Every structure is written in structure tokens, then in C-alpha cells.
């Protein structure tokens, strides 16, 4: 069986990339393989993480390529060259265009730090999500892995996990707990699940 070549797109710290990589190293991902990390921020620590573990990287920095369509075309060329079968958005902070999404239909998944359809859509990214969760006063939040479709954060859900909100949480403490208890658990599992499906095994 040929493994599904997987690219991880990151803009920041890359802890979700690290979680997928660690799962792969632990033998928990057998139908896919991370072969590329792409970032739209040249200073993203995710790039450093990838280099440390020997995964090739590519950077299309937002400052150097301010036009999203130009960046996307470069990323698409890179994905095609690498014969990428699955794209994982792991803290990738640019909303992709319908053109990009159509090019990789049903082959792009995203991790979102809340229980969609709550606290999703434009403007809900990173710490802003956890700020909104605390402001709303909900007692449970979590994370969602979903397929990426043209409507932001609204594609079919692949996996979710709930996380309790504590009285004394700050956006930072909540973010950390959502990552540790939900994101780093469900994203690697979803990558394996989707790769298995893409590789033809049910």
C-alpha cells in the first residue's frame, strides 16, 4: 500500500504539526506520511520544528507575496510537484480561496479550536476563539477537525472532542488545555482516518 503523501500548512508555533509527527513516529499513522511543511510566515516556529525532524519545508511569506492568489498558486505548484494527496491546515491563518479548495476537493482538512458550528467563521482564529468562548460564558468548549469547503469552518466534521472551561481560565490557559486535551489527540487520529479512506481502505 502506498502511503498518502501529506503536507502540513502552518503559520505559527506548529504544535499540531508536532503532534501529527509524533503520532507518525509512534506508529499511529500508517496510511499517510508527512512529506512537507509549508508556511506563509517565514518566522513560524513550525518551520524550525520541521527542520529538526528532517521534514522538507517551503515558505511563501505573506510579506514577500502579499497577494493571496499569487501565494496560493505557488503553494499549489509545490503541492503538485510533491504529489501531495492530503493537505492538513494546522494553524494556517489564511482563509483559502474557492479555487484552491476546488483543486484539492475533499483532500484538505483543518483543525479548529472550538466545537463547530459554535465559535467558527471569519475572525475566529487562535486566541480570539478562546476569548469569545470565555465572553460567552459557555462551560464546555473543545476542538473540531473538519473537511475544508468554500464556506469558512463549515465543512463536514471528521472529529470533535470536548474540553471543560474553568472559572479562572484566561484565553491562554484555555487555549493550552484545548490543545493538549483535544487538538493534539484528534488531529493525528483524523489524519490517519482520512489517509486510510483516501488510500482505498475503509
Q: Does 47 bind ligand GAR (CB under 6 A)?
A: no
Tell me if residue 31 is catalytic. no
Taking alpha carbons only, the member of 175, 167, 189, 169 closest to residue 142 is 175
Verify binding: residue 192, ligand GAR, rule CB under 6 A. no
Q: 56, 76 in Cβ contact below 8 A?
A: no
Mask for 8-37, x = binds ligand GAR (CB under 6 A): --x-xxxxx---------------------
85 binds ligand GAR (CB under 6 A): no
Please name which of 167, 186, 169 lies closest in space to residue 113, comparing C-alpha atoms. 186
Concatenating the DSSP letter of every residue in 114-135 gives: S-TTTT-STT--THHHHHHHHH
CB of 51 to ligand GAR, least distance (A): 15
In this chain, which stretch among 60-68, 100-108, 123-131, 132-140 interacts with ligand GAR, using CB under 6 A? 123-131
How many residues at the interface with ligand GAR, by CB under 6 A? Answer: 17
- CB nearer ligand GAR, residue 12 or residue 32: 12
Q: Quick one: which of 89, 92, 95, 72 has its CA closest to 194?
A: 89
- Nearest of 201, 148, 199 to residue 4 by alpha carbon: 199
Residue numbers annotated as active site: 112
Binding site for ligand GAR (CB under 6 A): 10, 12-16, 46, 90-91, 111-113, 125-126, 129, 179, 183
Amino acid at each position: 500500500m502506498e502511503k498518502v503523501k501529506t503536507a502540513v500548512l502552518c503559520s505559527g508555533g506548529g504544535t499540531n504539526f508536532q503532534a501529527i509527527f509524533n503520532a507518525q513516529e509512534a506508529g499511529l499513522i500508517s496510511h499517510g506520511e508527512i512529506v512537507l511543511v509549508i508556511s506563509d510566515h517565514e518566522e513560524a516556529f513550525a518551520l524550525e520544528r520541521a527542520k529538526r525532524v528532517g521534514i522538507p519545508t517551503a515558505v511563501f511569506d505573506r510579506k514577500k507575496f502579499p497577494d493571496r492568489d499569487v501565494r496560493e498558486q505557488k503553494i499549489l505548484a509545490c503541492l503538485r510537484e510533491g504529489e501531495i494527496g492530503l493537505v492538513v491546515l494546522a494553524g494556517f491563518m489564511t482563509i483559502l480561496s474557492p479555487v484552491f479548495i476546488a483543486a484539492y476537493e475533499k483532500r484538505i482538512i483543518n483543525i479548529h479550536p472550538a466545537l463547530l458550528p459554535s465559535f467558527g467563521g471569519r475572525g475566529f482564529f487562535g486566541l480570539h476563539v478562546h476569548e469569545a468562548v470565555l465572553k460567552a460564558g459557555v462551560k464546555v468548549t473543545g476542538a473540531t477537525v473538519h473537511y475544508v469547503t468554500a464556506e469558512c469552518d463549515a465543512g463536514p466534521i471528521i472529529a470533535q472532542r470536548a474540553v471543560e472551561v474553568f472559572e479562572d481560565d484566561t484565553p491562554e490557559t484555555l487555549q493550552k488545555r484545548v490543545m493538549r486535551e483535544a487538538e493534539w489527540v484528534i488531529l493525528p487520529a483524523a489524519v490517519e482516518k482520512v489517509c486510510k479512506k483516501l488510500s482505498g481502505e475503509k
